[in-house]
Amino acid sequence: MLNALLLLVGLLSPFAGFSASSAMGPPPAEPVSELALLQAPLSSPARGTMTAERLEHFDSMGGVSLSDDVQLILSKKGEPERIEEDDFTGFTELHYGNLAIGLYEDLVYYVHTGPSPKNITLNGKVIPLQKPWLERYLGKPDFVAEDGDVYIRGHAALKLYKDADTGKITGADLFDDTVS
């Protein structure tokens, strides 16, 4: 019976953070648990969890969904600080601080944040705009352009604009690529 218990403990050790030998004696000098990996400080993600939280779709940025209409935006965000209309393209842009919401026929076409944001909120998740965090949540870019990196999920795309000289992120756009 004790052998069966030790075997079970040994099989569960990758998930529980201990081994069969540690069950019989003092714990290892530096036990590592999955909980400790998930509670890594924001300065850098834990190595073993780089793909654990990859976003498989893009729905919203800054609390604005690509499926929102102008009435829903106004109910969520209130009156914008300013409104800009472009007669040539037909776009209307609502401005809330560093967030700009582009509308086409009263539906969200894009959401832009800048200048030089430190993080973005995608699908309600705050993502620091640093390489390890971008790789964790977004993976590798689908396209690398002169002015930034593009990530595509279905009919939505995220573009992170970069300064050509420094590589620093200067802005981000979430947009629906089905509207033309």
By CB atoms closer than 10 A (0-12, 13-18, 19+), residue 145 is: exposed
Predicted local confidence at residue 179, as pLDDT: 54
The C-alpha angle with vertex 135 and arms to 129 and 138, in degrees rounded to 5, equals 85
The share of the chain scoring above pLDDT 70, in percent, equals: 69
Predicted local confidence at residue 26, as pLDDT: 40
Average pLDDT over residues 61-71: 96
Is residue 44's pLDDT more than 70?
no
Edge-first strand order for the sheet with 125-128 is 64-65, 60-61, 119-122, 125-128
- The residue type found at 173 is D
Top pLDDT among 26 and 64 is at 64
Average pLDDT over residues 9-23: 37
> At 160, is the pLDDT very low, low, confident or very high (cuts 50, 70, 90)?
very high
Answer for the pair 19, 11: CB distance below 8 angstroms, yes or no: no
Predicted local confidence at residue 175, as pLDDT: 95
**Parallel/antiparallel/unpaired status of strands 64-65 and 169-176:** unpaired
What are the pLDDT digits (tens) for 70-85?
999 999 999 999 999 9
Phi, psi of 43, rounded to the nearest 5 degrees? -65, -30
The share of the chain scoring above pLDDT 90, in percent, equals: 64
Average pLDDT over residues 135-156: 95
> At 141, is the pLDDT very low, low, confident or very high (cuts 50, 70, 90)?
very high
Determine which helix (DSSP H) or strand (DSSP E) holds 16, and give its type and residue range: helix 2-16
Phi, psi of 13, rounded to the nearest 5 degrees? -55, -35
Phi, psi of 35, rounded to the nearest 5 degrees? -60, -40
What are the pLDDT digits (tens) for 94-128?
999 999 999 999 999 999 999 999 999 999 999 99
